[in-house]
Structure 1
Amino acid sequence: MAAIASTAASPGAHSEKHPKGLYVLFATEMWERFSYYSMLAMFTLYLRDTTGEGFAWSSDNATKLYANYLMFVYASPLIGGWLADRKLGYRKAVMIGGLFFMAGHLLLSFRSMTAVYAALTCLVIGNGLFKPNISAMVGNLYPEGSHLKDRAYNIFYMGINVGAFMAPVVAEFVKGRFGFHIAFAVAAAGMAVSVATLWKFKKHVEDADRQLIGAKTAAHGSAVAVDAPPASVSHQDAGRARRQETIDAVPEWKRIGALIVIFLIVIVFWMVFHQNGSTMTYWANENTDWKVTGIISNAINPMWVIILTFPLVAFWRWLDSKGMEPSTPVKMAIGMFLTGAAFFVLYVGAKVGEGTVTDGNMYNFKVSPMWLLGAYGVLTLGELMLSPMGLSLVSKVAPVRFRGVMMGGWFMATAIGNKLTQIGELWDDWLHSSFWLLLSGLAVFMAIVLLFLLRPLKKAMPGV
Structure 2
Amino acid sequence: MFKGQPKGLYALALANTGERFGYYTMLAIFTLFLQAKFGFSASVTSNIFAGFLALVYFLPVLGGYLADKFGYGKMVTSGIIVMFLGYVFLAVPTGNDAAGIAAMVGALVLIALGTGLFKGNLQVMVGNLYDDPKYAAKRDTAFSIFYMAINIGALFAPKAAEKITEWYMGKTGFSYNGDIPALAHQYLDGNLTGDALAKFTDLAAAQGAQWADNLGEFANRYIACLAGSYHWGFAVACVSLVISMMIYVFGRKTFKHADVNAKQVAASGSKEAAVELTPEQTKSRVTALMLVFAVVIFFWMAFHQNGLTLTFFARDYTATTATGLTRIGFDVINLVLIIIAVYGLFSFFQSEKGRTKLTSGAVTVASLALLAWKYSAMGDASIAILPQKFQQFNPFFVVALTPVSMAVFGALAKRGKEPSAPRKIGIGMFIAALGFTIMALGSFGLPIPNDLASVTTDYRVTPNLLIGTYLVLTFAELFLSPMGISFVSKVAPPKYKGLMMGGWFAATAVGNYMVAIIGMLWGGLPLWVLWSILIVLCLVSALFIFSIMKKLENATA
Q: TM-score range by the shorter chain?
A: 0.7 to 0.9
Amino acid of the structure 1 residue aligned with 2:475: L
Which is higher, the Rg of structure 1 or of structure 2?
2
Match of 1:67 in 2: 50
Matching of residue 415 in structure 1 with residue 494 in structure 2: no
Amino acid of the structure 2 residue aligned with 1:442: L
Two-structure CA RMSD over aligned residues (Å): 3.4
Name which of 273, 278, 286 aligns with 2:303: 273
Matching of residue 76 in structure 1 with residue 171 in structure 2: no
Amino acid of the structure 1 residue aligned with 2:553: M
**CA separation in 2, counterparts of 1:405 and 1:154?**
22
Match of 2:259 in 1: 210
1:378 to partner: Cα distance? 0.7
Q: How does 1:349-364 map to 2 (within 5 A)?
A: 349-351=442-444, 353-354=446-447, 361=455
Q: Aligned to 1:428, what secondary structure does the other structure show?
A: coil
Match of 1:230 in 2: none
Distance 1:411 1:141, change over 3 A: closer
Q: Aligned to 2:525, what secondary structure does the other structure show?
A: coil
Task: Tell me the TM-score normalised to structure 1 length.
Answer: 0.77
Q: Aligned to 1:211, what secondary structure does the other structure show?
A: coil
Matching of residue 104 in structure 1 with residue 154 in structure 2: no
Matching of residue 163 in structure 1 with residue 153 in structure 2: yes
Match of 1:174 in 2: 164
Q: How does 1:44-443 map to 2 (within 5 A)?
A: 44-49=31-36, 54-87=37-70, 89-109=71-91, 110-111=93-94, 112-139=100-127, 144-147=132-135, 150=139, 151-178=141-168, 179-199=229-249, 201=250, 204-205=253-254, 207-208=256-257, 210-213=259-262, 258-289=288-319, 290=321, 291-351=384-444, 353-354=446-447, 361=455, 365-394=459-488, 408-423=502-517, 424-443=519-538
- Kept in 1: contact 2:60–2:506 (CA 8 A): no
- Kept in 2: contact 1:24–1:204 (CA 8 A): no
Number of residue equivalences? 407
Q: Aligned to 1:38, what secondary structure does the other structure show?
A: helix
Distance 1:323 1:265, change over 3 A: same
Q: Aligned to 2:522, what secondary structure does the other structure show?
A: helix
1:44 to partner: Cα distance? 0.6
**CA separation in 2, counterparts of 1:426 and 1:411?**
25
- Kept in 2: contact 1:165–1:299 (CA 8 A): yes
Amino acid of the structure 1 residue aligned with 2:395: P
1:186 to partner: Cα distance? 1.8
Structure 1: 5+ residue runs without aligned partners?
1-14, 215-246
Amino acid of the structure 1 residue aligned with 2:535: S
Distance 1:172 1:332, change over 3 A: same
Structure 2: 5+ residue runs without aligned partners?
95-99, 169-228, 264-276, 322-383
- Kept in 1: contact 2:61–2:503 (CA 8 A): no
Higher helix proportion, which one?
A: 2
1:258 to partner: Cα distance? 4.9
Amino acid of the structure 1 residue aligned with 2:110: C
Distance 1:327 1:176, change over 3 A: same
Per-residue Cα deviation, 1:52-100 (whole angstroms, up to 9, x for no partner) = xx1111111111011111111111112123333433x444433332222
Distance 1:304 1:329, change over 3 A: same
Q: Aligned to 1:325, what secondary structure does the other structure show?
A: coil
Match of 1:32 in 2: 19
Per-residue Cα deviation, 1:30-57 (whole angstroms, up to 9, x for no partner) = 11111111111111110011xxxx1111
1:394 to partner: Cα distance? 4.8
Distance 1:343 1:47, change over 3 A: same
